[in-house]
Every structure is written in C-alpha cells, then in structure tokens.
Amino acid sequence: MTTSRALIIAVDGPAASGKGTIAARLARTYGLPHLDTGLLYRAVGLGVLDAGGDLDDAAAAEAVARSLDVSLLSDETRLTTGEAGEAASRIAGYPGVRAALLKLQQDFAGQAGGAVLDGRDIGTVIAPDAVAKLFVTATPETRATRRWKQLTARGDAIAYEDMLADIVRRDERDAGRGAAPMVQAEDAVLLDTTDLDIEAAFDAARRIVEAARANHGL
Ligand code: C5P
C-alpha cells in the first residue's frame, strides 16, 4: 500500500557535478522551495575566518554554526568563492558543526508541501525518507573544467590544474570523513552528467523524480 506524503527531493553529489543547477530547476518545475545546504557550511567556514578563527578549531566552528548569521547566506558572490568552498569542507567534518545545522535542514525538508535540498548527506542523514533521491556525479576532470569556467568567467584567477587538485582533495575529504561522509544512499539513483549538457542532465533528473513519484503514488 502506498501512503501519500510530501514530495521531498534529495540531490547529493560532489562539487561541480551539476547537482545545484539540477536541484534549482527541479524546485522551479515542481513549485517547491530549494535549499543549497552547501551554503550553510560555506557560511560557517567564512564566519570562522571573519572572526579571525582557525579552521582546525572544531569548537570555534561549532560556535559559529550554533549562532549562524543567516544574513551571510545572501552574500552569494562571497559564498561561492574557492576560499569559501575550501573552508566549508574543512569544518564540515566536525560532528558538532553538522549537529548544529541538522534541525534547520530537517525543518526545511519537513515543510508541508515538500522541498528540494542539495548537498552531500541529504538522502542519507537529513531526509532518509525522501520520495526521490539522486546522486549526481561526473569525472573530476569534467567537474574541474566546469568550475574553472564559472570562476574565470567572473574574474577569479585560478589555474585549471589547481582547480582539479582542489576538487580531488575536496572529494577525498568529503568521502573520507567519519561524520556523514559523502556516499550514495542505497536507494538513490546515480546520474552521471559527464557527457550530458545541462538540458540533458535536467531531463534525466526529471525522469528519475517522475518514476519515484509514480512509485509513491504522488
Ligand atoms: O556543495 P558545496 O560545494 O557548496 O559544499 C561545500 C562543502 O560543504 C562541501 O565540500 C562539503 O564539505 C560541505 N557540505 C557537507 N554537507 C552538505 C553540503 C555541503 O558536508 N550537505
């Protein structure tokens, strides 16, 4: 028997896999609110740096996470820098930081009409009961090229080789940590975007969500 429930869509995957764009477009398509959970970790990382703190100091990062200044979340330009991404992945392994950000994310996922969240642990930890779970990936080289184009288009100076090294280091850190490591949920559908442009990737994502909705009688 199927029970009717809210349409929660969990989109996980590594940096620059296309998960953010896919999640945003799914949210528009289904008229759902969208949370890019990476922004929370980025805001905490930058909050530590802004306070003159040390990213190796777990207690300092947890304190920032507990009193997260949500106005920081609107500063998209700063939050999407390589510096913010690196800071985020360094503090994201602290269990206290993850615990401090848990309720906010679960409340967002629990909204009456449903929600789309993207991150690393949405399908495994934040919303294990999500109706649709996608794990979006692509080769490190493809992801580095995409991120390099984005950053250089807006004037950030970074060499492709450094970008690739950053991506590989971040993957290792995110997948290797003890607390909520980046891993495909058992019931998530893998979507490899290496050879797909954004339209094709989005079409594939929508088909996965439609199949999941049909499965749940939604
Ligand atoms: O997705 P994005 O690149 O913005 O994430 C930045 C960093 O935040 C990731 O490398 C990861 O360490 C952390 N993160 C996380 N769990 C999430 C979202 C992001 O650990 N749900």
Q: Mind listing the pLDDT tens digit of every residue in the chain (218 residues)?
A: 445 589 999 999 999 999 999 999 999 999 999 999 999 999 999 999 999 999 999 999 999 999 997 777 888 888 988 899 999 999 999 999 999 999 999 999 999 999 999 999 999 999 999 999 999 999 999 999 999 998 899 888 889 999 999 999 999 999 999 999 999 999 999 999 999 999 999 999 999 999 999 999 99
pLDDT at 96: 98
In the chain, the number of structural domains is 1
Domain assignment of residue 17, given as a range: 7-215
Residue 113, CA atoms < 13 Å, CB-side half-sphere:
6
Substitution site in 37, 55, 135, 167 for ligand 1 pocket (most atoms within 8 Å of beta carbon):
37
pTM over the 0.75 mark: yes
Residue 65: which CATH number?
3.40.50.300
Around ligand 1, the residues with Cβ closer than 6 Å are 15, 37-38, 41-42, 85, 88-89, 92, 119-121, 170, 174
Through-space distance between the first and last CA atoms of the chain, rounded to whole angstroms: 13
- Residue 26: is it exposed, middle or buried by C-beta count within 10 angstroms (0-12/13-18/19+)? buried
> Within a domain: residue 201?
yes
- CA neighbor of 190 nearest in space, from 135, 133, 122: 135
> Within a domain: residue 2?
no
- CA neighbor of 205 nearest in space, from 20, 34, 37, 33: 20
- CA neighbor of 31 nearest in space, from 129, 107, 104, 115: 115
The closest-lying atom of ligand 1 relative to the alpha carbon of residue 80 is 4
> Within a domain: residue 126?
yes
> Within a domain: residue 194?
yes
Kindly calculate the radius of gyration of the chain based on its CA atoms and give it in whole angstroms.
17
Q: Whose CA is nearest to atom 19 of ligand 1?
A: 38
> Within a domain: residue 1?
no
